[in-house]
Amino acid sequence: MKEITINNQSDPYTLSDFSNKNVKNIQNSGFESFIVTGLPPNSKTSELWKYTNFHDLSKTKFFIPEEKSLDSNMKSEIFSSNNYETIYIVDGFFDAEMSNFSNNIIVEKSNDLKKLILLTESFGKIANNDDNEMIALNSAFMLDPLFISISDSQEETNLNIVIVTTNNNNNISHFPRLFIQVDSKSQTNILESYFNLSSDNNNLVVPVIEYLLEKESNVSHKRLQMDSGNSFFFQFDRILQKENSKFNSSSFSLSGLVSRYDIHSDLIGINSDCNFHGLYITDKNQLQENEISITHSVEKCSSDQMFKGILAGKSKAVFSGKVLVKKDAQKTRAFQKDFNFLLSKDCEVDTKPSLEIYADDVECSHGATAGNMDRNMLFYLQSRGIKDDDAMSMLIRGFAQEIIDEFSDIEIIQYLENYISKVIPSLDIQGIM
C-alpha cells in the first residue's frame, strides 16, 4: 500500500484505487515524482517558484477530508447563476446528488467509465506530471477524478463547475482533478467557481483541469476564485486546442494567503485562438501569482493576455506571461499586457512578460505598468463634492470594470460589482495619499 504524508500531516494519504489502467499509471507517475521532489521548490523548478514563499505551507498540518454533500446552509454561501447547469465538487469529491446537467453533458467518474473511456488516453498528457511538483502532487492524491464531455447541440451549453472547500474544524488538503473534452463545433460557456467556506483555516487546494478542444469548438471560459482568507491555492489549467478552436477566458481572483493561477494553452491547430484576461485583488500579506504560458505551434493563430491587479497592504503579486512562437508558426499574432494599481506604499508587484519567437512573419508585443492612485483625478472628483472614500472607490472600480464587463452574464457582473464594492472599504490603503 502506497501512502505518504504532506509536511507533518497526522494521517498519511493512501493512494486511491483506480481500476482504469491509464488513470492508475498517471497516479503512480505523480506519486513517484513527488516522492523525489517533495513540495517546491527544487533545483529543476526553482525559477517557476522564484517569488513564492512556502514557509507557512511547509509548517502547516493538514487533514484528509471525508466525502460529504452540500447542505442548504453551505449552498446559500455559494454564488450560482440561474443560466448555468451545475457540477459540484466538494472537498475533492464529486457531489452527484446536488449536480444538475442536461443530456449533452456527459459526466463519468474514473472508476465508472462507459462512454468516455477513450478520453483516458489523453489524461495526464495535457497536464504533465513533469511540469512541476504541484501537478504531480495532484495526480498522486486525486480522490475522485471526473471525465466530462460536452457535445455539439443547437443551443449554447452553459456549465458551472463549482469547487467547494467546506467549513471544517481542521486544515484540510484536497486535489480536484477534471478532464474536459469539448466536441467539434460546440458553443460552450464554462464557469469555474471556487469557494472557501472556512476562511479562518489554512487549507490546501490544488485543482488541475485538462481541456481538450476539438476542431471548430468555441469555449467562453469564466473563472471566479473567491478563496479568501488564509488558504493555499494552486490551480493549473492546461488546454490543448485543435484547428479553428477558440478559448476566451476571463478570471476574477480574491487571493488567499498564497494563490497561484497557472495556465498553459498549446495551439496545435491552424487558426486557433486563445485570450486570457484577469482581475485580482490582494491585501494584507497575501501573495497572488499568475503564470500564463501560450505555445504557438502552427501558423495563423492568435493569443492575447491582459491581467489587472489591485494591491493593498503589504501584499505581493507576480505576473509571468510567456509566448513561445515556434518556427512553423508564421502569421502569429500574440499580445501581452499587465496593469497594476498599487494602493499602498508597502505592496509589491513583479511582472515578467516575455516573448520567445522563432518565426519571422509575426505580430507580437508586450508591456506592463504599475502605478499609484492618480492624485489629480482624485482631486478632481473631490472638487466636485465627492467624499474621499467614494472618490477612491470610483477610481478602483473604474480600473476593474473592463475585466468585469467581460463576464457577460448579468448575474455574474452584478455579483462581482457588489462584492468589489464591499471589499474596497476594508483594503489597507494607508501611506499613498
3-state secondary structure of 383: helix
Task: Report the DSSP beta bridge partners of residue 281.
Answer: 254, 310
pLDDT at 118 over 90: yes
Query: What are the two backbone dihedrals, phi and then psi, of residue 232, each rounded to the nearest 5 degrees?
Result: -110, 120
N-terminal to C-terminal alpha carbon distance within the chain: 60
Respond yes or no on whether the N-terminal peptide bond of residue 145 is cis (omega within 30° of 0).
Answer: no
- Compute the distance between CA of residue 420 and CA of residue 426 in angstroms, rounded to an integer: 10
Burial (CB count within 10 angstroms: exposed 0-12, middle 13-18, buried 19+), residue 56: middle
Residue for grid cell 495526464:
124
Domain membership of residue 286 (yes or no) is no
- What per-residue confidence (pLDDT) applies to 5? 58
Task: Name 168's Cβ contacts closer than 8 Å, sequence gap at least 6.
Answer: 63, 65, 91, 198, 201, 203
Q: What average pLDDT does range 290-310 have in this prediction?
A: 97
Q: Are 214 and 245 in contact, with CB atoms under 8 Å apart?
A: yes
Q: What average pLDDT does range 114-134 have in this prediction?
A: 95
- Using alpha carbons, select from 163, 153, 147 the residue that is nearest to residue 102: 153
Residue pLDDT, tens place only, 243-295: 999 999 999 998 889 999 999 999 999 999 999 999 999 999 999 999 999 99
Burial (CB count within 10 angstroms: exposed 0-12, middle 13-18, buried 19+), residue 19: exposed
Domain count, the chain: 1
pLDDT at 153 over 90: no
- What per-residue confidence (pLDDT) applies to 228? 65
Residue pLDDT, tens place only, 31-82: 998 888 888 877 777 888 888 888 788 788 888 888 888 888 888 889 888 8
- What per-residue confidence (pLDDT) applies to 1? 40
Residue pLDDT, tens place only, 342-384: 999 999 999 998 999 999 999 999 988 888 877 767 766 777 7
Domain membership of residue 144 (yes or no) is yes
In this structure, of 47-51, 132-136, 143-147, 152-156, the range with the lowest mean pLDDT score is 152-156
3-state secondary structure of 63: strand
pLDDT at 336 over 50: yes
Range of the domain at 77: 3-269
pLDDT at 127 over 70: yes
- Compute the distance between CA of residue 430 and CA of residue 184 in angstroms, rounded to an integer: 52
Respond yes or no on whether the N-terminal peptide bond of residue 41 is cis (omega within 30° of 0).
Answer: yes
Domain membership of residue 418 (yes or no) is no
pLDDT band at 28; cut points 50, 70, 90: very high
pLDDT band at 432; cut points 50, 70, 90: low
Domain membership of residue 386 (yes or no) is no
What's the DSSP call for residue 117?
A: G
Q: What is the CA radius of gyration of the chain?
A: 21
Residue 266 Cα distances to 47, 84, 151, 242, 343, angstroms: 21, 27, 22, 9, 36
Q: What's the pTM?
A: 0.94
3-state secondary structure of 25: helix
- Compute the distance between CA of residue 145 and CA of residue 210 in angstroms, rounded to an integer: 11
Domain membership of residue 77 (yes or no) is yes
Query: What are the two backbone dihedrals, phi and then psi, of residue 392, each rounded to the nearest 5 degrees?
Result: -65, -40
Which H helix or E strand runs over 283?
A: none
Domain membership of residue 85 (yes or no) is yes
Q: What average pLDDT does range 195-224 have in this prediction?
A: 93
Residue for grid cell 490603503:
429
Q: What average pLDDT does range 99-115 have in this prediction?
A: 93
Q: Are 350 and 373 in contact, with CB atoms under 8 Å apart?
A: no
Domain membership of residue 279 (yes or no) is no
Domain membership of residue 173 (yes or no) is yes
- Compute the distance between CA of residue 416 and CA of residue 401 in angstroms, rounded to an integer: 10
- Compute the distance between CA of residue 419 and CA of residue 210 in angstroms, rounded to an integer: 29
3-state secondary structure of 16: coil
pLDDT at 171 over 90: no
Grid coordinates standing for 144?
475522485
- What per-residue confidence (pLDDT) applies to 162? 96
- Compute the distance between CA of residue 26 and CA of residue 147 in angstroms, rounded to an integer: 14
Q: What average pLDDT does range 216-237 have in this prediction?
A: 91
- What per-residue confidence (pLDDT) applies to 169? 76
- Compute the distance between CA of residue 364 and CA of residue 404 in angstroms, rounded to an integer: 26
Grid coordinates standing for 219?
469555449
